[in-house]
Structure 1
């Protein structure tokens, strides 16, 4: 196995490749033909609708201020594993402050950003690849990763950008608000399972034990978006993801129920919420994580802020006893801590749903 403390090859910033003016992308970013987006998907950058449709239905938009919100959240998690949340209670001016701060960071000169270069040991800081497999095909995107909770893993001061000056304050406030939203969503999910409102939060280690981290994704313009991806197909390894998408540019695609790729049109001021692998495990696949990926774009850059709400990393996780009833409904997954589980991603990078499939109990693969 590669040394997880260092990248196997020199890291090249995708933003610098984009700004070089080259008409073609390096071979390291060219995906196998089966994994490439369709040319028609790459040709329409602008978000244009309030929902996402295809022949199999609609990715739900859930109004969290509605009396029916808990049922709607549970149904969305069962049917899609994805939904857009409106009237979510996070101040809209905070969304704009967070976006503006991080756009400011990625607009800095490269030498200033390079001071915060990361490693696969923690991923904290400024990065351009996931996984340590030598010779891997890479994604067309840069990112910045930080731990916000719990205090035992909080990113140290030297991991935070100094510029823009309001970035840390805006990001920490944003993280607190989104974490509180995740707690409310876990309550809705638990209620829909009939296991008690606080049950999933308990499995996460309680509010104080749950992990919160943020990855700000920056996808520069790409001269050949039909050959690559901003982020390869994957399901999120953690508990739940709350994404603040770029409303100006479409990029996120979700694997539909028929196996096709559905492009998400972000609703203004909404969050895109998706189930992660750990909730799939805890609910014995009642709620399922779903493959998704990000397209590159020739005419527009794109920035998104992903907040990950994860179980405490040292807890053994397995299907909740209330959702297991052998022989009709056996436990589908063997126990594993989140620390052990996410090593798969650190070694191999994003690879569809292969990581959660690897966790299945013998005989259920």
Structure 2
């Protein structure tokens, strides 16, 4: 990134501080254009939800997944781009504790959190905006971003030291979530008719792939009908494993011309397909636009784990999925080149991956 992108274009304002200042109207910088504002939550059908899949009935490797699990994951990846998983192998008590410890972190005094303030060069640390476009309309959220893999990027000193023993907890949680990602990658490969390790190898293998955590904190918002916690976007990477706030729904998934509010299942992860997986699968799997609404009475905390290809590997449609009838839809591009877009522009729907797509 250029030197200009080592600094934010304007002074950083922490959204939690705004929320707790007693304001009754949000600053204009957070007011979304009329067409992007969320509809009242009462307009959404609580009985419509993304698929929920039980992974606990199989997963021994070597193609040992039951056909029912394979079929459910395949349909969810092709039709929804999102699904929830239960009995996923990650310690449930650790999931709950992680969510609450991160809540504690965001409630620490600002001077303590300021020690971890980030820059747009890497985004690692404590932040309150995405993108370096001056004058952009901002999202109503603070966040913390950190690297886990590859190990050469991991710097535990940039991980929060408070609350006590937090770094050790982050490391154990990261280990378990990455193992879950590996199991899901095996399933996705099998469902494409490819060898079980195919997609993992295309990401660079266990020793070189990328894994990073973004923790989102959405403070109470006095005018939730004017703002968004996170603007519409599709995730630029491979897979995303989201630990939601079970008590305060906020994630919305685009389904045709509707926004579906996801109802989190207790102790489940929400999984979604990223743009790199859409490219590798030659659009057999779809990344899907999503956003986050905010709440006037309750704050929210969610943990998004991004499982990505190695940054310098060219990602293109798998040769095995390209035929005369189904030509390659995307040109080769490294993940580093691709994610530069969101780092400079911020969330912009699915404009990047759609712009790459060639007509059949």
TM-score relative to the length of structure 2: 0.94
- After superposition, residues 100-179 of structure 1 pair within 5 angstroms as 100-154=100-154, 156-179=155-178
Output aligned runs, 1:1-365, within 5 Å: 3-41=4-42, 53-54=47-48, 58-66=49-57, 67=66, 68-154=68-154, 156-256=155-255, 258-326=256-324, 328-361=325-358, 363=359
Work out the CA distance in 2 between the residues paired with 1:182 and 1:275.
12
Unaligned runs of 5+ in 2: 58-65
Equivalences, count: 350
Contact 2:254 2:288 (8 Å CA) reproduced? yes
> CA contact under 8 A between 2:120 and 2:132: conserved in structure 1?
yes
**Contact 2:156–2:167 (CA<8 Å) still a contact in 1?**
no
Structure 2 distance, partners of 1:30, 1:118, is 24
Question: Could you tell me how far 1:41 is from its partner in structure 2?
Answer: 5.0
How far apart in 1 are the matches of 2:199 and 2:160?
A: 34
**Contact between 1:4 and 1:346, CA under 8 Å: does it hold in 2?**
no
Deviation, 1:4, is: 1.3
Q: Structure 1: which 5+ residue stretches go unaligned? A: none
* TM-score normalised to structure 1 length: 0.93
Q: Is the 8 A contact 1:2 1:347 kept in 2?
A: no
Q: What SS does the corresponding residue of 2:263 show, helix, strand or coil? A: coil
Q: Decide whether aligned partners of structure 1 residues 189 and 157 sit closer, same or farther in structure 2, where only a CA change above 3 A counts.
A: closer
Kept in 2, the 8 Å contact 1:254–1:263? The answer is yes
For the residues of structure 2 that align with 1:359 and 1:123, how far apart are their CA atoms?
25
* Alpha-carbon separation, structure 2, partners of 1:70 and 1:178: 20
- Report the 3-state secondary structure (helix = DSSP H, G, I; strand = E; otherwise coil) of the residue aligned with 1:208: coil
- Contact 1:4–1:132 (Cα < 8 Å) also in 2: yes
Q: Distance in 2 between matches of 1:133 and 1:53?
A: 39
Deviations 1:58-100 (A, max 9, x none): 4110000133222211221011000000010101111022112
What is the alpha-carbon root mean square deviation over aligned residues? Answer: 1.5
Give 4+ residue runs of structure 1 displaced > 4 Å after superposition: none
Q: Is the 8 A contact 1:53 1:59 kept in 2?
A: no
Give 3-state SS (helix, strand or coil) of 1:342's partner: helix
